[in-house]
Amino acid sequence: MKRLGIFLMCIATLAMASCSALQSAGTNTVAMAAGQNCGAAVQGLYKSYKSTGNLNITSGTNLTNALALATCYTQLKQNKNDKSYRKAFVSGMVSSAAGLFTTATANNFVDQLLSSQGLANVNSSNIGKTAATATSIISLLNTLK
């Protein structure tokens, strides 16, 4: 189990590093990639939540998706006043979430994500220990019903 945790932390680190490397390609490319990561993470979390009726944030896949969602939250907060970033981010969400989002529902989800309190200061060492994180994610997922 410890190896899985280390492996997941490495994947999360590589994902964050790749987003940093993309910044030189332009804001819209970075925003689109972030939105795609967010859409895929939300889709994975939503699928797990709908199939079990709860969200085990300590399982490997859910942990990885929750970390990706927390990273997206941070990226959105940093760019919350950039309309072109948001537009590209939403477009990325819609393209990667295989029918889970329309542009309207993705915009609503982004609004809900930006107002979420449980994803602030989340990282790989504290995500599984924070009840507020799971509560915030479930609250976000419930907006998709």
What's residue 24's pLDDT? 37
Pair of tokens at residue 52: 């079990």
Of the listed ranges 4-18, 55-69, 96-110, 123-137, the least confidently predicted one is 4-18
Q: Model's pTM, two decimal places?
A: 0.77
User: How far apart (Å, rounded) are the C-alpha atoms in residues 69 and 123?
Assistant: 11
Q: Is the confidence at residue 111, as pLDDT, over 80?
A: yes
Residue 114, Cα to own-chain centre: how many angstroms? 11
Of the two residues 136 and 79, the one the predictor is more confident about is: 79
Domain edges within the chain: 2-142
Give the residue with greater pLDDT, 109 vs 122.
109
Please list, residue by residue across 108-142, b when 16 or more beta carbons sit within 10 angstroms of its beta carbon and e when fewer do. Answer: ebbebbeebebbeebebeebbebeebbebbeebbe
